[in-house]
Structure 1
């Protein structure tokens, strides 16, 4: 029995760690992923690490090119523009479908994630805020039960988390804390709308939520007064 068979959770642990490191920008955009180091860190041989790299490349976390080391997916002003233009449509659709298709079990998971997000806001824990915000919207995407919406939402969330991390690296201010608390309140309202299967209210809350994010992110995406796309 090899180590991977004896420890089936190692690959899952590596996947979770890579997602978190990329989303929180512990691994910055464009940074090289050391396959050998990751294999040693998680007690895996290189084939399952490569398999995971291919999977995460398909999701948009990683860039793979022939004869080049795997790299964390890059970010540019064009990708920011694309994000701001597309995000409202995808988030609103996901929220509406989640309200229509959610299960009680999925709703319970969403509530647990929100509890972690709110605690991170209260504790001023930047990395946990970014991570659990990503998990919150990822869960809503799963609750949508739509094979076309989920991949698009997941790809958007990668840059959403990383742009958010850039914003939240700045010193906390009363205004920033107020808006974080507003974002957390909007999460709670989304849960309520999804629980009562109110698709229109859930979609409208998603629109307000992404607009809140857009206003904050735009200040740092274009600090020199560069025009940012409107919704």
Structure 2
């Protein structure tokens, strides 16, 4: 049995690692999570691992059912359709409220995340792009300072990242790289509008950003013969 002298740090490391593995599809939807293996990998006993599983289930990363092992949250055509329907409202609202409520420290953190995203784009680092794009929009959500918005945005981002990984796993063509550069440019423009407290411009950039994602991902996400909803 391991001792949990450093369990807060180890538990936080486990949580961050699991979230990254889920967002980047290293752990695909429906994958079983082995508590024993995770306990051994991160030097934790079973109770803190179970507690983390419950927390992550509440956030939407994991599904917990009685008498079944924990599993990575599933994805279906219905959940993808729900994503395309709800994403515009939530992302646009997050951008608008971030422009109204952000602090200087939060803005500086957003700029640092964007530097990491741009580096991943330049290096054609698929997992880095998915992870730092998620971190970018998560930070925007935090800057909105709204207790009702943030949980919805976080849940939405889980499937956004996974849909993006499905798309980005395909060969990086010149067109794809060009659109990734455009997405990064839109991030820079979002930062500028949030910095000057321009809620209208920040919201419009969120709409354009999602439209870019929708065009790229709909062919992999929408059922045959069903067009993904327009934004």
- TM-score tier by shorter-chain length is over 0.9
Counterpart for residue 107 of structure 2 = 107
Counterpart for residue 61 of structure 1 = 61
Contact 2:167 2:216 (8 Å CA) reproduced: yes
SS of residue matched to 1:216: helix
Counterpart for residue 25 of structure 2 = 25
Q: Please give the alpha-carbon distance, in whole angstroms, between the structure 1 residues aligned to 2:143 and 2:137.
A: 10
Q: 1:26 to 1:58 in 2, by over 3 A?
A: same
CA shift for structure 1 position 220: 1.5
Q: Please give the alpha-carbon distance, in whole angstroms, between the structure 2 residues aligned to 1:229 and 1:97.
A: 24
C-alpha RMSD over aligned residues: 1.2
SS of residue matched to 2:5: helix
Contact 2:59 2:151 (8 Å CA) reproduced: yes
Q: Please give the alpha-carbon distance, in whole angstroms, between the structure 1 residues aligned to 2:173 and 2:4.
A: 46
SS of residue matched to 1:146: coil
Counterpart for residue 175 of structure 1 = 175
SS of residue matched to 1:155: helix
2:154 is aligned with 1:154: yes
* TM-score, normalised with respect to structure 2: 0.97
CA shift for structure 1 position 223: 7.2
CA shift for structure 1 position 91: 0.2
Count of residue pairs brought into register by the alignment: 230
Q: Please give the alpha-carbon distance, in whole angstroms, between the structure 1 residues aligned to 2:172 and 2:74.
A: 27
Counterpart for residue 10 of structure 2 = 10
Q: Please give the alpha-carbon distance, in whole angstroms, between the structure 2 residues aligned to 1:122 and 1:223.
A: 32
Q: 1:170 to 1:6 in 2, by over 3 A?
A: closer
CA shift for structure 1 position 65: 0.3
SS of residue matched to 1:5: coil
- Give the gaps of 5 or more residues in structure 1: none
Q: Which 4+ stretches in 1 moved above 2 angstroms?
A: 2-8, 222-231
Pairing 1:1-231 to 2, within 5 Å after superposition: 3-222=3-222, 224-231=224-231
Q: 1:7 to 1:60 in 2, by over 3 A?
A: closer
* TM-score, normalised with respect to structure 1: 0.97
Q: Please give the alpha-carbon distance, in whole angstroms, between the structure 2 residues aligned to 1:6 and 1:230.
A: 48
CA shift for structure 1 position 219: 1.6
